[in-house]
A = this chain, B = another copy of it.
Amino acid sequence: MLEDKNQERTSLESLGEFGLINHLTKNFKITKTSTIKGIGDDAAVLDFKDKKVVVSTDLLVENVHFDLSYMPLKHLGYKAVMVNLSDIYAMNAKATQITVSIAVSNRFPLEALEELYAGIKTATDKYKVDLIGGDTTSSTKGMLISITAIGEANEEDIVYRTGAKPKDLLVVTGDLGGAYMGLQILEREKEVFKVNPNNQPDLEPYSYIVERQLKPEARKDIPELLKELGVHPTSMIDISDGLSSEILHLCENSKVGINLYEDKIPLDPTVISTCEEFNLDSTTVALSGGEDYELLFTIDQKEFPKIKGNPNFSVVGHTTEENEGAFLISRNNSKIPITAQGWNSLAKA
């Protein structure tokens, strides 16, 4: 859709060397007191005073991480920011700045990049982070987006993957599997469209899961909510690659085992019904689906009253001694070893 021939097209070359980045970033305003200098010099200058600085980076590659045939560019810009902010929130920190670098081939006109940046701007406005730098360059094929997110936190608030101890409770925010099932819907519609371009897909029944795929929200509210509730997780990680993969990371980093209870995994009704439609097991989808950008954390048992009944949280299991390993306790009470089957595009540091 970005390459709609009816649109007016402006070639990127026509803007000149520095005109492009100025054009794309001119509407971005600096709002953080920690941003002293944003775009426009060799480097941005930031001031975090007595706060610790948190830094994370992600690379999104066309046809590896996203498919522009069903991902509108505006959504892509928004989602690319979410993917990165999610890592900052997973440290129990506040996101403050991002840099955005983009490589694009000549097939993209200026209008396409404007759409992408409109999505990035919607995200930075809503999540209150400053765009402070980046690089825009040509690629020989396709589009690639590299974002670095920066955040701040008091030292005592930061939560690593390493702090869980045996008998902690395992908690997940929101619900899982939606982004993956949304992707199944979009891929099915793409196939239908190939056969019959005049077919008007009815995505309405699937709107929740399609939105989870196309316009995920990072859990900015969770570090704030945890603070409000006086809960300090012992460990935390974001669920970008699927629950099983993240559980194994927590186990490895914290030197614990985990029992995960199948019947406790939070699933939206749309996920359950769509799994039935596709003849997929909803537990497998939640375990391996990825891209939900929820948070997974552990808390000391005595913190349980603080989160009990809170609709943002589901207690899905508990940690055990390391040598006990990581298991799914199924509905029929069998114990199944958890293996990493998360969505995989090589690796992430």
Contact = CB atoms under 8 A, between A and B. Distances in A.
A17 interface: yes
A97 B53 CA distance: 12
A55 B140 contact: no
Contacts of A275: none
Contact of A17 (B58, B134, B151, B340): B340
A39 B65 CA distance: 22
Interface in A147-166: 148-151, 155, 158, 160-162
A52 interface: yes
Interface stretch (A83-91, A209-217, A302-310, A319-327): A83-91
Nearest to A248: B18
A217 to B, nearest CB: 17
A53 B61 contact: no
Most buried by B among A56, A63, A146, A236: A146
Interface stretch (A2-10, A121-129, A184-192, A341-349): A341-349
A41 interface: yes
A46 B55 contact: yes
Chain A, interface size category, equals 35 or more
A137 B62 CA distance: 11
B101 A135 contact: no
B133 A61 contact: no
Given A12-B346, A43-B90, A45-B158, A61 B134 contact: no
Contacts of A18: 347-348
Interface stretch (A19-27, A70-78, A255-263): A19-27
A302 B144 CA distance: 48
B144 A103 contact: yes
Contacts of A245: 17
Nearest to A146: B146
A50 B245 CA distance: 38
B58 A135 contact: yes
A64 interface: yes
Contacts of A21: 346-349
A149 B97 CA distance: 14
Contacts of A349: 21, 25, 39-40, 99, 133-136
A142 B238 CA distance: 30
Interface of A: 12, 15, 17-22, 25, 36-37, 39-50, 52-59, 61-65, 86-88, 90-91, 93, 97, 99, 101-103, 132-142, 144, 146, 148-151, 155, 158, 160-162, 236-238, 241, 245, 253, 340, 342, 344-349
28 contacts: A15-B347, A17-B241, A17-B346, A20-B346, A22-B347, A37-B160, A41-B253, A42-B88, A42-B90, A42-B236, A43-B55, A43-B56, A44-B54, A44-B56, A45-B53, A45-B91, A57-B134, A57-B148, A58-B101, A59-B137, A59-B146, A61-B140, A64-B137, A99-B349, A135-B146, A136-B346, A136-B347, A139-B144
4 closest residue pairs by CB, A with B: A146-B146, A43-B56, A42-B90, A21-B347
